[in-house]
Chain A
Amino acid sequence: MPETLPTAAVRVTVNGKPCERQVEPRQLLVEFIREELRLTGTHIGCDTSFCGACTVLLDGAPVKSCTLLAVQADGAELTTVEALEQDGQVHPLQQAFSEQHGLQCGYCTPGMFMSSLALLAEHPEPSPQDIRKALSGNLCRCTGYQNIIKSVQTAATLLRQEG
């Protein structure tokens, strides 16, 4: 068995639910989310903050969870892709990405959702330029981005109609 490494307490609210775990101080936030909380919708694509597949919202702001330690999130509210679906029904953002074919393999999609959500919270009617700026840290290797831009625009329309 490995030597017992010192651990630190991390208390966070994840998708509205309070969670507490003892973790190694070196544990990354994305590992905490995937391994400790078993929320595997958040993906790891590059280990170096480039691709944005691991993007989650930390106190409402999009962060790349491969670049934060879990202990740095102590006390924060986290939002992940799993917050979007409720009782089998999907959020307008999810609906829009499917309708506009804004995903193919789906690996980048949860990160795209989180960055888009942060954008739409600030800009309910984003221009294509606003969308490009907000998603410039999210890589997609399948779609060529064109349908992602359309998806976010469609989501904005759906949200305005429903709001």
Chain B
Amino acid sequence: MDMQFSGEFSVARSKEEVFAMLADPQQFAPLLPGYHSMEMKDARTAKIRARVGIGRIGGLATTELSLVEAQAPHRARYTGRGKLMQGVYRMHTAFDLHDTTDGGARISWQGKAELTGKILSLAGGGIRGYAEKQITRLIASLETALSSAPEPEPAAPGGWLGRALYGLSDVSATEARIEPQVAPTPDLQAQRAAANQRIQALLEAPRAQVKPARREDERLIKGKGLFVDDYSPAGLLHLSVLRAPYAHARIVNIDVSKAQALPGVACTLTGKEIMELTDPFIQIGAGATQQITDYALATDKVIYQGDPVVAVVAESVAIAEDALQLVDVEYEPLEVVLDAEDALTDRVALHEETGTNTIFSGVYEYGDLEQAFADAAHIVKIDRLEFHRFGSTALEPSACVATWDPRGEIDLFANTIMTVPLAFLAPALRVRMDQIRLRTHDIGGSFGNKITNYPYLTLCCLASRKMNGAPVKWIETRTGQMLTGGHGSERIYLDTEVALDRNGVITGLRSKHIDDIGAYPRYEPLGSVIWSQVLPATYKLRNIRIDFNQVVTNKGPSAPNRGYSRLPHIWFMERVVDICGHELGIPADQMRLNNYIGEFPYETPNGCVYDSGDLPAMLAKAKELVGWDAWQKKQAEARGEGRLLGIGIGTTLDSGTNNWGQARYVNPQAPFSGNSTAATVKLDLDGTVVVSLGTFPQGQGHETTAAQVVGKVLGLPPELVQVKTGFDSLNDSHTGQSGTYASQFVVTGLSAAHGAALKLKAELTKLACFGLDAAAEDLEFGVGDMGPQVSVRGTEQALNYWMLANFINSNSASLPDELRDLSLHARHVYMPPFKVPDVEKKIGNLTLTYALQLHICVIEVNPDTFQTKILDYAIVDDCGTVINPMIVEGQVHGAAAHGIGAALLEEIAYDREGNAISGSFTDYAPITINAMPELKCANRQSPSPFTFHGAKGMGEGGGGPLHSVCAALQDALHGQDLIIRHSHNSPMVMFDRFAGGTEKGVTVESR
């Protein structure tokens, strides 16, 4: 960020006197705001310590101030540079002196400041005001110093302003002054007492023994969840990370000696050490991508702002953070690449070992494009569309506590969300996978983002080993999270051409897409194929060519984010449909009815099978919910009054349960295909039914629904089924693809639990046949006087679960030989019926289920300020058979909030030097309760033919609001011949784009 300031003032001193003072660093430096101390490096250069900060946050910063120009008695010029709060700054100040008519001097000054680094995001929009204030203070103290005697009313405006605004007469005195705490007045005390009494009265309300609606609520509503930060074993150490202030720079030198010397610091870790202790993380991509060396800390250079450079481990977070300030890192800044098209040229290669920024480049082509375009009645060309960078920013940041005991066993309590990171972690740490016990408990949201927190888990493991097995905790700061902890990738769509017939039916589509995934590929190469699960979105066109590319840039590494990779593609398809509709004068609803897929199951051009649904019925339902006809009338009235009111439709797919074979489109050598998820159901020694899942729930209520499904198999109410909270690799209830991702639990997790329950039931049947001397067909599962039992239908004869468990666990001598292979510990691995896709042709069924959502948004745009207000919002979802309506509706609401937030408020933004300018919630503006409209929701149920219960995964939601809000904005603004080409439409960006008019970028050729 650059800032420039200038001004002038006059003093009653001669030019020569003024110059003598300004050109002497020893006289000039003490005038700097917050001056603390100095030492002269040479005659022209001073090293100054000054107090800096905003509000009460701050510290001492070192500035090197050099007099670079001195033309007596006309001009003095200084440059300064220094670092503060993990940022760096440079400043230039020039003073030009002129005689005044009354024998004094007029001083005109210019100042320029350049800032880089985390300071910008910390200070957010406040930095300019802060800089202005500092400069006003500098000028005010200059005037004071140049006045022979303090003047009660100085003539110069700068000084007057300084005094009026900041009450400055003596800067140093101001710095030292601390306002005393004001004691509460009696009135305030009385108010507080009254408020407290009202709270106490509320707290005395009668309590009740209430059965919570979800299993998880039992602990969560009491504040008794166990999130990672709540776990603090004895002897705990804390790890903090020093992050790069530059987006791209070579690391010249790192000096951790002062940090290590700080009392309370246990150890430090640097890239050099990491290179000795670990192997680079595995790479998913093919070709040159395999050469990328990705370690837990930056080694020779940093490639995004926030890249971790040094870790400090200390007895408290505060000491670790203090120690980070004592680490000296010397950088040599390099040219940055922030634009996807620029990255594609390889002008500057981020990963020098590969020589290219391209991670994936491939063509997805189906049908006959030439014929489609030759036959087209209309061809619509859209030069560019852009999908922006945003993240779901779970409220709980990434975190872990790692304990690497001296015997070589690693206990990793973390909030990661799938087992895949274990496959990254174990080889990097050079350990066997069984040495790592990975466990989770409560997780405060993830939305995909936490998949890539494994570099920090690696750091904590190493730190624990270095400290002889002391547990080491890392809690990501919110700023760290915003810089690096889960950005959804950006995508641009270039040179799109759409062929349509006379009725507006899309018959062909070709386009070039570039995904910008930030600095490190990690999980992202899979994003190069995952979008193709929804290749034609909800439309019946058969001729499609997408030239897909994925590049790295000097921005935070992206990670899966709710709607991962499919959402940006569906958004593109929805924009295409709306833009074509508007250009051809076909209403949005008709455009969809003309193009929707009709019959399900439907096989897409690339071999995916959409399982079930009825799109026209969903549209009709959503129109009814929102009051479509009434809004059409209101829209006509609004337009008559010059108001901008728009109605938009968004149709979206949530593809769930991946066929991992699609990874082979990215890397033909990838040893993945199909999908597998495990679960165990056992009878414990006392006969309790205990379920262990292979998932990492983060609020989706897996314990609740698993108990429902297992209970149903065994004829038990859910409360008699225990489901272990979270993931634990010691439960042996996982596979290499277990996890909570890709809208799959309802299919994979519940199918695994269902299968395990059936296996347990089969064993119980055998035991009961023996114990009750009955035939299997006469047995009945249920609950009796002695709890869960198996009984002989129509008799009093029954064995409860304790007795059955006892046969195996404590009383086996009475068992016949043929029952001695039972374990009452059933493990089931669910494997959907996938085939390996055809890698050459890129054809295959890539996901098992396709939940559908249809959104309608009514929005009004202020024509002057581009502020928006959602006036009405309706959603119809169809996720097949619903297992738990309450949980499904909760997911629909949550996904809608993320989409509305992303469309109108939330953006992870960078300036042209690669500074992250949305480094805190204040700058990022996650959606609050005030920005959420009331949602009108309805549900249709088209059971999936491919799952045992007919349910489909639906947690990601498909980002419906990004489509519907953009469509509604398009509808509102189309009268002004404006096209919505961006997924992010905050008032500020719309004002910038539209207030000065804009190039439409769309052409239509009709025959």
Contacts and interface: CB of A to CB of B under 8 A. Distances in A.
Interface in A106-161: 106-110, 117-118, 120-122, 128, 131-133, 135-149, 158-159
A37 interface: no
B395 A122 contact: no
B180 interface: no
B205 interface: yes
B334 to A, nearest CB: 31
B935 A144 contact: yes
B896 interface: yes
Interface string B912-928: 00000000111000101
Contact of B444 (A59, A80, A107): A107
B793 interface: no
Given A98-B217, A146-B893, A162 B930 contact: no
Interface string A27-52: 00000001100011111111110110
A104 B222 contact: no
A34 B192 CA distance: 24
B199 interface: yes
B890 interface: yes
Given A43-B444, A117-B202, A97 B935 contact: no
Contacts of B475: 44
A162 B206 contact: yes
Nearest to A137: B928
Contact of A141 (B202, B203, B445, B896): B445
A107 B395 contact: yes
Contact of A2 (B319, B393, B477, B928): B319
A48 B889 CA distance: 31
B968 to A, nearest CB: 18
B370 to A, nearest CB: 46
Given A47-B478, A104-B700, A141-B392, A136 B223 contact: no
A48 B227 CA distance: 20
A17 to B, nearest CB: 13
Given A1-B263, A141-B394, A110 B477 contact: no
Contacts of B208: 89-90, 92, 95
A80 B461 CA distance: 34
Contacts of A139: 395, 921, 926, 928
A91 interface: yes
Interface string A3-46: 10000000000000000000010100000001100011111111
Nearest to B316: A2
B149 interface: no
Given A40-B223, A139-B926, A104 B699 contact: yes
A148 B895 CA distance: 15
A120 to B, nearest CB: 6
B935 A146 contact: yes
A45 B396 contact: yes
Interface residues of B, number: 78
B213 A101 contact: yes
Interface in B860-888: 886-887
A99 to B, nearest CB: 6
B264 A2 contact: yes
Interface in B731-784: none
B196 A147 contact: no
B176 interface: no
B195 interface: yes
Interface in A46-68: 46-48, 50-51, 53, 57, 59-61
Contact of B443 (A35, A39, A105): A105
B699 A95 contact: no
B126 to A, nearest CB: 12
A106 B442 CA distance: 9
A121 B202 contact: yes
A80 B935 CA distance: 31
Contacts of B396: 43, 45, 105, 107
Instruction: Choose among A61, A98, A139, A148 the residue with the greatest number of B CB atoms under 10 Å from its CB.
Output: A98
Contact of B221 (A79, A90, A149): A90
B897 interface: yes
A93 to B, nearest CB: 8
Given A98-B213, A106-B216, A145-B897, A140 B207 contact: no
A149 to B, nearest CB: 7
Given A121-B195, A121-B198, A84 B203 contact: yes
A1 B216 CA distance: 41
| Most chain B CB inside 10 Å of its own CB: which residue of A35, A79, A121, A135 | A121
Interface string B395-435: 11100000000000000000000000000000000000000
Contacts of B890: 101, 104, 142-143, 147
A86 B264 CA distance: 40
Contact of A47 (B214, B477, B894, B897): B477
Chain A facing B: main interface SS: loop
Contact of B896 (A44, A144, A162): A144
A45 B928 CA distance: 14
A110 B213 CA distance: 17
Interface in B211-242: 212-214, 216-217, 219-225, 227, 229-230, 232
B335 interface: no
A105 B699 contact: yes
Given A48-B478, A101-B887, A144-B893, A132 B929 contact: yes
A103 interface: yes
Given A47-B478, A132-B930, A98 B210 contact: yes
A25 B264 CA distance: 18
B341 interface: no
A147 B263 CA distance: 49
B155 interface: no
A70 interface: no
A3 B669 CA distance: 56
B874 to A, nearest CB: 13
A66 B224 CA distance: 20
B708 to A, nearest CB: 15
B932 A146 contact: yes
Q: Which of A59, A108, A110, A117 has the most CB of B within 10 A?
A: A59
B701 interface: yes
B921 A91 contact: no
Of B396, B397, B475, chain A has the most CB atoms within 10 Å of the CB of B396
A132 B930 CA distance: 6
B795 interface: no
B318 interface: yes
A61 B192 contact: yes
Contact of B223 (A42, A47, A121, A162): A42
Given A90-B207, A107-B444, A140 B395 contact: yes
B698 interface: yes
Contact of A144 (B198, B897, B921): B897
A90 B213 CA distance: 13
Given A60-B195, A144-B935, 13 more contacts: A1-B264, A85-B222, A90-B207, A90-B222, A101-B214, A101-B889, A104-B700, A109-B223, A132-B930, A141-B392, A141-B894, A147-B889, A149-B929
21 contacts: A43-B396, A45-B396, A60-B198, A79-B203, A87-B207, A97-B221, A98-B212, A103-B221, A104-B445, A105-B220, A121-B195, A140-B929, A141-B926, A142-B890, A143-B897, A144-B895, A144-B897, A144-B932, A144-B935, A145-B897, A146-B932
Interface of B: 192-199, 201-203, 205-210, 212-214, 216-217, 219-225, 227, 229-230, 232, 263-264, 315-316, 318-319, 392-397, 442-445, 447, 475, 477-479, 698-701, 886-887, 889-890, 893-898, 920-922, 926, 928-930, 932, 934-935
Interface of A: 1-3, 24, 26, 34-35, 39-48, 50-51, 53, 57, 59-61, 77, 79-92, 94-95, 97-99, 101, 103-110, 117-118, 120-122, 128, 131-133, 135-149, 158-159, 162-163
Shortest 8 CB-CB contacts between residues of A and residues of B: A41-B223, A60-B195, A106-B220, A105-B699, A107-B444, A89-B207, A104-B699, A144-B893
